[in-house]
């Protein structure tokens, strides 16, 4: 279903004045940009029932996305000195009943989005114009088309377009998550995909076992994950492995990729998608990081202990030249980096009892991880890629006053957010936050448990 919705979401036309960035991202922390976000005008559609309700939903989605970005102070219709419903979505001079820039400026707006809709057959058409109020100029104008039943995605795409036009970095509001969950019932944990906002949840595995640590290929067409798997060997009884599988999203074909004795888990693709890095114990009990090809053949062993120490959870920088990983080689599990061939290892974290689950941001500037303090609970932290400037992102308690665990971070493809799980409600639920912790949103809201979310690497 999700593929169908996205495939029919098209932008028809674009006109924009070329400019690299209107908003400097660092400046947004000091002062939010005031954006007028008027409700959608009816451009002549006779479908004033369902279309009006749908466009109100799109407007809400758009507003929620832009608020989450933390860049904007949103002004709705009530803040417009000139009623948007009584003027055109284009300025005076372009149309006879066009809006005036002066009232927008008087109201304190720096940018204004004027949008209208029409219905042609089964499709909703949305025309959107983003204006620079001070310059009285068009920043970007687009037209979107989608079937009425698939039109909610227009809101997310509009938010992406606005962020790209004003900051130079496209938003991630059409991206997806892959995750494991017990929502199928019983003791099993299966692999699911969902939109970043928790909608369109789809189960893609059916092992009736415990699936672990899913991850995306760079192009979003494959998912790798691990499963507790029992193999019956002729004349030798049965063995249980944590085996690595690859699932092709386009063909629904599943391939057993690595099933060496012991653990084959915590896998991630190389940035070019041609190899896989993962932790393997090779039956010895202590896992190390290996690089394998897509058919499971070992290319190189990257770590060796020392002295039986585990080295797991590799995460690569965008160029594929450095790997962040967790290791207990210093006595306690901490975050390290090394070159992609296993050389030049460097310890990045020194504080806390247990640091794990590193995630390298797609822009290469940050690493997120879960850190356990002396209070024995995990929180999400973000630091510079060299280990400096560690920022605590989460702090949450359960209803009984005890500290909640916040674990397993993963960066959004635009590097603006991290997704993670938290048991603050009693169940492991999914949350996202800006990387400074200033804005947090709960993604799932049900009675199930979710584990190890990974954000897709491709934005759309």
pLDDT digits (tens, 9 = 90+) for 205-221: 999 999 999 999 999 99
Q: What's the pLDDT score for residue 152? A: 81
Residue 156 has pLDDT above 60, yes or no: yes
Question: At 17, is the pLDDT very low, low, confident or very high (cuts 50, 70, 90)?
Answer: very low
Q: Name the 3-class secondary structure at 105.
A: helix
pLDDT of residue 6: 36
Cα–Cα distance for residue pair 452/454, rounded to 1 Å:
7
Mean pLDDT, the chain, rounded, equals: 91
Domains of the chain: 2-167 (3.40.50.10070), 176-455 (2.120.10.30)
Q: Is the pTM of this model over 0.85?
A: yes
**Rounded CA gap, 359 and 337, in Å?**
11
Q: What is the mean pLDDT of residues 43-57?
A: 84
d(C-alpha 448, C-alpha 99), whole Å:
49
Backbone angles phi, psi at 157, to 5 degrees: -65, -40
Cα atoms found within 13 Å of the Cα of residue 453, Cβ hemisphere only: 32
Q: Which of 145-159, 239-253, 384-398 has the lowest mean pLDDT?
A: 145-159
Residue 16 has a pLDDT of 44
pLDDT of amino acid 308 = 87
Omega of the bond prior to 433 within 30 degrees of 0, cis? no
Structure confidence at residue 11 as a pLDDT band (50, 70, 90)? very low
Q: How confident is the model at residue 439 (pLDDT cuts 50, 70, 90)?
A: very high
Q: How confident is the model at residue 46 (pLDDT cuts 50, 70, 90)?
A: confident
Which pair of structure tokens corresponds to residue 184? 């199928």
- pLDDT band for position 25 (50/70/90)? low
Q: Which strands form 346-347's sheet, in the order they lie side by side?
A: 311-316, 322-327, 334-339, 346-347
Confidence check: pLDDT of 272 > 90: yes
Across residues 407-434, what is the average pLDDT?
97
Quote the CA–CA distance of 53 and 354 in Å, as a whole number: 49
Average pLDDT over residues 48-63: 90
Q: Which among 261, 242, 249 is positioned nearest to 176, based on CA atoms?
A: 249
**pLDDT tier at 24 (50, 70, 90 boundaries)?**
low
Q: Which of 41-50, 140-149, 231-240, 315-324 has the highest mean pLDDT?
A: 315-324
What is the structure's pLDDT at 283?
81
- Over residues 404-419, the mean pLDDT reads 97
Tell me: the pLDDT tens digits for 334-392? 999 999 999 999 999 999 999 999 999 999 999 999 999 877 899 999 999 999 999 99
pLDDT at 259 over 90: yes
């Amino acid at each position: 279903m999700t593929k169908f919705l996205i495939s029919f979401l098209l932008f028809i036309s674009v006109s924009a004045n070329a400019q690299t960035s209107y908003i400097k991202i660092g400046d947004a922390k000091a002062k939010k940009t005031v954006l007028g976000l008027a409700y959608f005008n009816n451009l002549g559609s006779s479908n004033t029932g369902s279309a009006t309700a749908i466009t109100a939903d799109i407007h809400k989605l758009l507003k929620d996305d832009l608020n989450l970005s933390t860049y904007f102070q949103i002004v709705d219709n009530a803040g417009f000195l000139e009623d948007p419903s009584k003027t055109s979505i284009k300025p005076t001079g372009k149309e006879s009943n066009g809006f005036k820039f002066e009232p927008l400026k008087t109201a304190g707006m720096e940018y204004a989005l004027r949008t209208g809709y029409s219905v042609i057959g089964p499709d909703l058409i949305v025309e959107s114009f983003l204006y620079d109020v001070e310059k009285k100029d068009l920043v970007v104008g687009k037209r979107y088309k989608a079937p009425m039943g698939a039109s909610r995605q227009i809101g997310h795409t509009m938010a992406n377009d606005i962020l790209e036009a004003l900051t130079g970095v496209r938003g991630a509001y059409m991206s997806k998550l892959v995750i494991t969950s017990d929502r199928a019932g019983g003791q099993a944990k299966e692999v699911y995909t969902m939109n970043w906002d928790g909608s369109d949840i789809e189960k893609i595995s059916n092992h009736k076992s415990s699936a672990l640590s899913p991850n995306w290929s760079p192009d979003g067409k494959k998912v790798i994950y691990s499963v507790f798997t029992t193999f019956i060997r002729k004349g030798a009884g049965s063995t249980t492995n944590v085996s690595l599988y690859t699932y092709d999203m386009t063909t629904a074909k599943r391939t057993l990729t690595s099933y060496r004795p012991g653990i084959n888990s915590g896998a991630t693709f190389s940035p070019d998608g041609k190899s896989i890095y993962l932790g393997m114990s090779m039956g010895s009990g202590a896992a190390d990081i290996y690089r394998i090809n897509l058919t499971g053949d070992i290319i190189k062993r990257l770590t060796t202990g020392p002295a039986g120490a585990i080295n797991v959870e590799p995460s690569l920088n965008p160029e594929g030249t450095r790997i962040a990983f967790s290791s207990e080689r210093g006595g306690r599990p901490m975050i390290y980096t090394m070159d992609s061939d296993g050389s030049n290892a460097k310890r990045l974290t020194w504080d806390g009892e247990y640091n794990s689950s590193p995630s390298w941001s797609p822009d290469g500037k940050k690493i997120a991880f879960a850190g356990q303090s002396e209070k024995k609970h995990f929180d999400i932290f973000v630091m510079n890629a060299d280990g400096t400037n560690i920022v605590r992102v989460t702090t949450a308690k359960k209803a009984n006053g005890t500290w909640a665990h916040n674990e397993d971070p993963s960066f959004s493809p635009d590097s603006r957010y991290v997704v993670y799980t938290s048991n603050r409600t009693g169940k492991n639920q999914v949350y996202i936050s800006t990387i400074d912790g200033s804005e947090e949103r709960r993604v799932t809201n049900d009675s199930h448990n979710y584990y190890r979310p990974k954000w897709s690497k491709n934005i759309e």
